[in-house]
């Protein structure tokens, strides 16, 4: 039996290599469509740990799957990475992490987002927190177990590194369609060492309005596209208020679970023309009781109403990216209990369980496969924002929890 002291000592000894791996992973900028080098790096790390690896293609036909998000571009040449260990009798475990990181605007970063560095115990860089720090945490747990001569992690364990968690979920969906699953799934997403049990439904829409444009000299006689867009933004704020009026009890503890975020506005060409075209991209959080098609219809109505006051220009709108269902793993599920107990055994207190106004790929396992899946991972700051960073100490603590959990999981 491995004691907690032995485990923590092994983790401390292996931590420098795990942090070096994390630096290497962050420096491989895995923005959407550019995941290849980071995936190859993960594949090599898994092989080094004794996993047999393979690449899983994400077919373009995934877009026909009713559970898929709407792809942005082809998946040709892009792939998930799967590491497996020999299977024997007993239960199986899958660790699922997403390799993709969200876009950056370097104007608001203090330094190059893809030149990671460590300062005062935090590692900075895009993806350091969401969720490459989780990769480092999981691999650190496995390295520590190997150092202790443990067979845990040598059997019945799979590690899946997926693309496009941040846009569609199609990487995980493709792996599931290829038969990759297990009796339980842990996603080492950044949860600040709490247990994340669920999320909301999310639909993305893109709206294109063709105002037609004109000379700035005539702007006093033309409907103002800028003012129309401002009224649209107000309309989305009103939609958000409406969506949060009857919140299902599942989301009771979140102050405003269903955020409507106008994430992109492109308007106009240059100062001396009335804008010809406006493009908006909006992320709409909502309860499962409203379908993505109903959200689309609601947005169409909203845009149509606003544009009647702007000369009724042509517009089109469509779904793109997320069409995610909400999901919740029951807080009293044995998997939750096991992870909480492992955390408590190593750190002396139980982690909190929570549900957030966002989503993760855990939804596919919980909703479609009936497989328990939860997120547990490091402490982070500014995820999706500027100067994103992960606390290195929390990677060690999380690794200790994960190693202890795996010992219990595989030995019973």
Q: Which residues bind Zn ion (CB under 5 A)?
A: 130-131, 189
Query: Shortest approach of Zn ion to residue 128 CB, angstroms?
Result: 12
Residue pair 201/101 in contact by the 8 Å Cβ criterion: no
Query: Shortest approach of Zn ion to residue 350 CB, angstroms?
Result: 24
Query: Shortest approach of Zn ion to residue 131 CB, angstroms?
Result: 4
Nearer to Zn ion, 35 or 130 (CB): 130
Q: How far apart are CA 243 and CA 299, in angstroms?
A: 12
Nearer to Zn ion, 124 or 135 (CB): 135
Nearer to Zn ion, 131 or 356 (CB): 131
Nearer to Zn ion, 131 or 162 (CB): 131
Query: Shortest approach of Zn ion to residue 198 CB, angstroms?
Result: 15
Residue 273, strand partner residues? 215
CA 7 to chain centre: 29
Nearer to Zn ion, 24 or 134 (CB): 134
Residue 83, strand partner residues? 53, 159
Nearer to Zn ion, 4 or 259 (CB): 259
Distances, alpha carbon 256 to alpha carbons 242, 249, 316, 328, 381, in Å:
11, 13, 29, 17, 21
Query: Shortest approach of Zn ion to residue 165 CB, angstroms?
Result: 6
Residue pair 314/209 in contact by the 8 Å Cβ criterion: yes
Q: DSSP 3-state assignment of 214?
A: strand
> Which H helix or E strand runs over 6?
helix 4-27
> Which residues, including other chains, have CB under 8 Å from residue 410's CB and lie 6 or more apart?
90, 91, 93, 152, 155, 156, 157
Q: How far apart are CA 156 and CA 177, in angstroms?
A: 20
Nearer to Zn ion, 102 or 267 (CB): 102
Query: Shortest approach of Zn ion to residue 74 CB, angstroms?
Result: 23
Torsion sign (Cα): 246, 251, 252, 258? negative
Query: Shortest approach of Zn ion to residue 186 CB, angstroms?
Result: 14
Nearer to Zn ion, 24 or 129 (CB): 129
Q: How far apart are CA 197 and CA 362, in angstroms?
A: 9
Nearer to Zn ion, 101 or 278 (CB): 101
Query: Shortest approach of Zn ion to residue 134 CB, angstroms?
Result: 8
Q: How far apart are CA 162 and CA 209, in angstroms?
A: 34
Distances, alpha carbon 283 to alpha carbons 198, 229, 305, 388, in Å:
18, 16, 20, 21
Residue pair 239/298 in contact by the 8 Å Cβ criterion: yes
Query: Shortest approach of Zn ion to residue 374 CB, angstroms?
Result: 14
């Amino acid at each position: 039996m491995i004691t907690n002291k032995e485990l923590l000592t092994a983790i401390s000894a292996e931590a420098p290599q795990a942090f070096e791996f994390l630096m290497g992973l962050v420096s491989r900028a895995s923005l959407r469509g550019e995941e290849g080098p980071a995936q190859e790096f993960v594949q090599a790390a898994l092989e080094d740990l004794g996993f047999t690896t393979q690449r899983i293609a994400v077919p373009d036909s995934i877009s026909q799957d009713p559970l898929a998000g709407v792809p942005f571009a082809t998946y040709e040449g892009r792939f998930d990475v799967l590491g497996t260990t020999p299977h024997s009798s007993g239960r199986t475990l899958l660790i699922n992490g997403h390799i993709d990181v969200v876009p950056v605007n370097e104007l608001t970063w203090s330094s190059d987002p893809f030149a990671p560095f460590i300062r005062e115990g935090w590692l900075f860089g895009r993806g350091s927190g969401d969720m490459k720090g989780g990769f480092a945490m999981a691999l650190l747990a496995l390295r520590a177990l190997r150092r202790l001569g443990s067979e845990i992690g040598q059997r019945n364990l799979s590690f899946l590194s997926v693309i496009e968690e941040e846009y569609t979920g199609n990487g995980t969906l493709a792996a599931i369609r290829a038969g990759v699953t297990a009796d339980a799934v842990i996603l080492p997403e950044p949860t600040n060492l709490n247990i994340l049990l669920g999320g909301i439904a999310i639909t993305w829409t893109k709206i294109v309005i063709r105002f037609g444009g004109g000379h700035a000299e005539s702007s006093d006689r033309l409907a103002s596209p800028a003012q129309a867009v401002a009224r649209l933004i107000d309309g989305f704020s009103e939609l958000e208020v409406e969506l949060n009026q009857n919140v299902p009890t599942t989301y009771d503890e979140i102050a405003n679970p269903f955020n409507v975020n106008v994430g992109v506005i492109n308007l106009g060409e240059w100062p001396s023309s009335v804008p010809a075209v406006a493009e908006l991209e909006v992320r709409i959080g909502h309860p499962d009781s409203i379908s993505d098609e109903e959200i689309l219809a609601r947005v169409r109505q909203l845009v149509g109403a606003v544009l009647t006051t702007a000369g009724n220009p042509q517009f089109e709108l469509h779904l793109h990216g997320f069409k995610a269902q909400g999901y919740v793993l029951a807080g009293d599920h044995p998997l939750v209990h096991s992870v909480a107990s492992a955390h408590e055994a190593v750190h002396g207190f139980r982690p909190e369980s929570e549900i957030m106004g966002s989503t993760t790929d855990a939804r596919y396992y919980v909703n479609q496969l009936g497989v328990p899946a939860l997120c547990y991972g490091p402490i982070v700051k500014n995820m999706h924002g500027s100067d994103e960073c992960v606390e290195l100490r929390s990677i060690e603590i999380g690794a200790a929890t994960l190693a202890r959990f795996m010992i219990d999981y595989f030995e019973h």
